[in-house]
Structure 1
Amino acid sequence: MTVEVPLSAREYRDLLSSALEEAAYADTRPPTARTLFMPDSHRSALYVDTTVVPGGRGVGKTFWYQSLLDDRLRELAATEYRIARLRRLKVARGYGLALMSDRYPGPPVLRDLMTRTDPYTIWYTVLLTALGQEELRALPAWREKVAWVRDNPDSAQRTVERADGQAHEENIVHLLLFDALEHLHDEREKADQLVAGILRLALHMRFGTRNIRLKVFIRPDMFDSAKPHFPDASKLSGYAAHLEWTRTDLYGLLFHFLGNEDGEYAELSERFRRTVGGWEAGADQARHVPPILLRNDAKFQQLHFEQIAGPFMGSDHRKGRPYTWLPNHLMDGVGRISPRSFLKALWTAAEATRASHPAQDRALHHEAIRKGVQEASKSRVEEVSEDTPWVRLAIEPLAGCQVPIEEAKVIDIWQNANLTVALAKDAARYAQADEPALVRTGPRHPDDLPRLIEELKDLGVMTPPRSDGRLDLPDVYRIAFGLGRKGGVPRPAA
């Protein structure tokens, strides 16, 4: 390997600030070749026959949804993941955040359609539209399209059979993608029914055709809660691949960003690549692929991260080591870490070090890393509040409490705060909203407080009970929600 003088603390800081600045906007800015990082653990999620891809907020569902829709990025994935079938796809949108009424009905239309027909027929109509059913092209409204499909089952099935046969002759696969399912309907029960309709159609195509497939990016709790509405959903578990991030995946992502920065700091990015050595040009020469040790080897990663953050979270090892401390404090209640939270914390740490510790001999000061966790917690709470506003209603009454906390005390606080009434009012407010941005998924059991705790555990907002039966909140939620912990990362000063 070529030996290169490492970047200075200031240079590393500049590179971190520039490379990670856009990390918080991963869902609103489309992926590019430069931002396309491919952890080994995500390879199975891109298999054509993988139907269900569960993952929490910020783990990459929308990223891969958008990447599969992009011919260039799909080609890169086909090459670097060695999945040849990705080159033989005809990809269409089945549902997503974008407003595309010519491809699929939006939330207000879905609410209307749910009063007229079953969810399976709605999504069957979306599939037939993607396959080019001629009769549907002339019908402007989804109400009319769905009615035609319901009244013409023979013609609809023949369209599927013809499309499947032609795709087999051409050696291609029709792939219909679904994302952002938490925005389908404001009522949890109706959202579960709509998801169950998608899963039924996915299973039907999986076993009834050779070359028509669905890929459903979904939150794990929504996948689980849809199963009672679709008894055969368990059959799809064998065709599911979870999007999860290990600690080495997260640091591999960080180093990928540092080695692929362009613009003003491209020279620093190039020097960083030379410092590490072993980088390779990507399949299209537009990106640089980190060496295997920088992607997958914890010791090698720790060695290079200590060049950025130092060896300790204070004066010695008793305060922890940054390499392990940071992901441990960003982990939710079921052990998941959002890469967006991870990169947000690092970007904040770089900016805080520049502002408060400019003479620090490393790019990141340990107090600035703690500040990064506080900001990442704030962003994470904002995200979960957007997707599931009932979570904020449930946790805010606990502000000021210390964790761990007894379950009986949590329920007592909720009862005094009239939580069930607040949840009912919130559900009514969203039910009256026509804007797609206001459609969210509510709790399954708003009147049953012990089961509400179970739902919070499923979401990772609370942790399973400790040996003494007390409940806990992971730091990534605890800090911004204003709960304390003895010896933990402090809440931000008001």
Structure 2
Amino acid sequence: MTAPLGAEEYRDLLISALPDAQDADTVEPSLSNLFTPDSHRLALHVDTTVVRGGRGVGKTFWYRTLLDDQLREVAADEYRIERLRHLKVHRGYGATILPKLYPGPNPLRALVDAGVTPYDVWNAVLLAALGQQEIQALSWQQRIEWIRAHPEERDATIAEIDRQAQAEETTHLVLFDALEHLHLDRGQADRLVAGILQLALEMRLGTKNIRCKIFIRPDMFDGALLHFPDASKLTANAASLKWSTTNLYGLLFHYLGNHDSEGSKRFRSLQDGWTEHRQERHLLPPALLGDQGTQADMFSRLAGPYMGANFRKGITYTWLPNHLMDGVEQVSPRSFLNALGMAVNETRGDYAAHPYAIHHEGIRRGVQSASRTRVGEIREDMPWVHTAIAPLNGQQVPIDQNLVLERWVDADLTGQLHRESARASALDGEVEVRTGPRYPDNHLLLIDELITLGVMRRRKDGRIDLPDVYRIAFSIGRKGGVPKVQS
């Protein structure tokens, strides 16, 4: 019988098996790290056009997986989606600089400044992807001009490629990712996204075997709806990348069981039912994948059962995701893995003699680290959220709603939001630029919008709360809670 791992051996496995960088753009999918939670199956369906997800939930990971023939086969097996085996996949947009496949941010800005409509841009990208011969040697501006001058040839090309795909029983799938990098100005980015959605809807309604799949943040999808109302027709089959507690721990155990090391082999020996699906790829036992009790027992081997001396301090298995959860009860795997990585490093640095690989104080510091990262991300994505929460600095939650409104009035929040929007408008040279909330003048509706985003939540007694993943780094206290980050 294989001997169980000791605390230091578990630490070595955690540090080596977990990804070094919690930035999705730096983690390349592979046979060993591809994890297929059941909740993501709809997102991989070929006819699912819009895949919504915040930062760190796996949009870029799935984008790259679909581009890889071998990984697409694995997804087809494990999700039982036969159509994934019969795809011709094309890049419509992504973070990688590929000027022959699509215009990057700088060429896009030049095209937009020259008066090219977003729909025309993506029309040219689509035809280039589908192999329209007459435009292949042209610049993007020339491609667009050719398509404008030859609308019948454009339609004929699409119809013929669709017919050929039907005859071959295959589907052309055009993927779009990294849409936050389309344009520095949010208003222009929203319009560019609207052009992608317009083209995607046209292909969905007008062809049988040409499809687009758009990986997008929810706030960007909402912003695009302002410029393309028909985009709402795409919401009926939209998918969201969500992670349950069992998904998160399944991901952790998948990493630990798929690392090329002796420690990983010994970890797999602790639980019956692991299967080698393909070389370098081991599938979790069903109980370790989806049973909370089994997962909790396994995690207690790593971090102990409690967040202190006894259960009154909290159960480690539930405590970690509960304190990383936003107001709509979602946890990103990036935050989860970020917190665990920090927890192991803190334990090794300050609690090396601890009998478990992870000390409960390390978990608390890991949550603080994840909170700093999450607040930094939302400050980049939606700066107005930071502006709205800043007047609550130093307060303690839960907080009476009237006190929130008073603090906002005292800080002239409405004026701040309008001034920020005006600065953005001046930079863009237009009046219609929405960089802030929908209702900057109505503070009650502003609270509702923050609740929808998951930054706030309203308790049954009407008081306003902030989930720890935001509260801690925003320097807002909670009696008995994880300490706020000291600035």
- How does the TM-score come out when normalised to structure 2? 0.92
Q: Distance in 1 between matches of 2:376 and 2:275?
A: 38
1:57–1:219 CA contact under 8 A, matched in 2: yes
Give the AA of the match of 2:470: Y
1:221 matched to 2:215? The reply is no
Structure 2 residue aligned with 1:84, among 73, 82, 85? 82
Q: Distance in 2 between matches of 1:249 and 1:190?
A: 36
Q: 1:245 Cα deviation (Å)?
A: 0.4
1:53–1:242 CA contact under 8 A, matched in 2: yes
* Post-superposition CA distance 1:298-322 (Å, at most 9, x none): 1111111111111111111111101
Q: 1:444 Cα deviation (Å)?
A: 4.3
Q: 1:404 Cα deviation (Å)?
A: 2.0
Structure 1 residue aligned with 2:366, among 362, 372, 386? 372
Structure 2 residue aligned with 1:349, among 328, 343, 357? 343
1:387–1:441 CA contact under 8 A, matched in 2: no
Q: 1:165 Cα deviation (Å)?
A: 1.2
Give the corresponding residue for 2:330: 336
Q: Distance in 2 between matches of 1:273 and 1:359?
A: 25
1:473 matched to 2:471? The reply is no
Q: Distance in 2 between matches of 1:272 and 1:41?
A: 26
Q: Distance in 2 between matches of 1:449 and 1:75?
A: 50
1:483 matched to 2:483? The reply is no
3-state SS, counterpart of residue 24 of structure 1: coil
Give the corresponding residue for 1:73: 71
1:250–1:342 CA contact under 8 A, matched in 2: yes
Give the corresponding residue for 1:403: 397
1:182–1:441 CA contact under 8 A, matched in 2: no
- Structure 1 pair 413–98 and aligned structure 2 pair: CA distance change class (3 A): farther
Q: Distance in 2 between matches of 1:466 and 1:227?
A: 30
1:48 matched to 2:42? The reply is no
* Post-superposition CA distance 1:413-440 (Å, at most 9, x none): 3444454555566567777989xxxxx9
Q: 1:134 Cα deviation (Å)?
A: 2.2
2:258–2:280 CA contact under 8 A, matched in 1: no
Structure 1 residue aligned with 2:60, among 59, 62, 68? 62
- Structure 1 pair 454–192 and aligned structure 2 pair: CA distance change class (3 A): farther
Q: 1:107 Cα deviation (Å)?
A: 3.3
Give the corresponding residue for 1:134: 133
Give the corresponding residue for 1:123: 122
Q: Distance in 2 between matches of 1:190 and 1:119?
A: 9
- Structure 1 pair 257–23 and aligned structure 2 pair: CA distance change class (3 A): farther
Identity in percent: 57
1:404–1:470 CA contact under 8 A, matched in 2: yes
Q: 1:57 Cα deviation (Å)?
A: 1.1
- Structure 1 pair 23–108 and aligned structure 2 pair: CA distance change class (3 A): closer
Question: Comparing 400-409 with 332-341, which one deviates more in the overlay?
Answer: 400-409
1:273 matched to 2:268? The reply is yes
Structure 1 residue aligned with 2:91, among 93, 96, 100? 93
1:329–1:474 CA contact under 8 A, matched in 2: yes
Q: 1:188 Cα deviation (Å)?
A: 4.2
Describe how 1:274-423 pairs up with structure 2 within 5 A.
274-283=269-278, 285-420=279-414, 422-423=416-417
1:188–1:444 CA contact under 8 A, matched in 2: no
* Post-superposition CA distance 1:42-99 (Å, at most 9, x none): 1121111111111111111111011111222212212222222212111111122223
- Structure 1 pair 14–433 and aligned structure 2 pair: CA distance change class (3 A): farther
* Post-superposition CA distance 1:22-53 (Å, at most 9, x none): 25133223222221111111112111111111
Q: Any unmatched runs of 5+ in structure 2?
A: none
Q: 1:21 Cα deviation (Å)?
A: 4.3
Q: Distance in 1 between matches of 2:336 and 2:355?
A: 22
Question: Comparing 408-417 with 169-178, which one deviates more in the overlay?
Answer: 408-417
Q: 1:373 Cα deviation (Å)?
A: 0.7
Describe how 1:96-115 pairs up with structure 2 within 5 A.
96-114=94-112
- Structure 1 pair 223–432 and aligned structure 2 pair: CA distance change class (3 A): same
* Post-superposition CA distance 1:427-475 (Å, at most 9, x none): 67777989xxxxx983243743524433322322222x22333222110
3-state SS, counterpart of residue 278 of structure 1: coil
1:332–1:476 CA contact under 8 A, matched in 2: yes
Structure 2 residue aligned with 1:173, among 159, 171, 174? 171
Q: 1:234 Cα deviation (Å)?
A: 3.3
1:248–1:295 CA contact under 8 A, matched in 2: yes
1:443 matched to 2:442? The reply is no
Give the corresponding residue for 1:13: 11
2:343–2:359 CA contact under 8 A, matched in 1: yes
Q: Distance in 1 between matches of 2:427 and 2:365?
A: 37
Give the AA of the match of 2:35: F
- Structure 1 pair 471–146 and aligned structure 2 pair: CA distance change class (3 A): farther
Q: Give the number of the structure with larger relative contact order, counting CA–CA contacts within 8 Å between residues 6 or more apart.
A: 1
1:23–1:343 CA contact under 8 A, matched in 2: no
- Structure 1 pair 187–458 and aligned structure 2 pair: CA distance change class (3 A): farther
Q: Distance in 1 between matches of 2:181 and 2:191?
A: 13
- Structure 1 pair 102–455 and aligned structure 2 pair: CA distance change class (3 A): farther
Question: Comparing 169-178 with 96-105, which one deviates more in the overlay?
Answer: 96-105
Q: Distance in 1 between matches of 2:199 and 2:301?
A: 51
Structure 2 residue aligned with 1:193, among 167, 191, 194? 191
Q: Distance in 2 between matches of 1:153 and 1:97?
A: 30
Q: Distance in 2 between matches of 1:98 and 1:423?
A: 34
Give the corresponding residue for 1:247: 245
1:174–1:213 CA contact under 8 A, matched in 2: yes
- How does the TM-score come out when normalised to structure 1? 0.90
Give the AA of the match of 1:338: S
3-state SS, counterpart of residue 333 of structure 1: coil
- Structure 1 pair 456–96 and aligned structure 2 pair: CA distance change class (3 A): farther
Give the AA of the match of 1:223: F
Q: Any unmatched runs of 5+ in structure 1?
A: 435-439
Give the AA of the match of 1:458: T
Q: Distance in 1 between matches of 2:272 and 2:21?
A: 25
- Structure 1 pair 249–408 and aligned structure 2 pair: CA distance change class (3 A): same
Q: 1:271 Cα deviation (Å)?
A: 0.4
2:175–2:214 CA contact under 8 A, matched in 1: yes
Give the corresponding residue for 1:256: 254
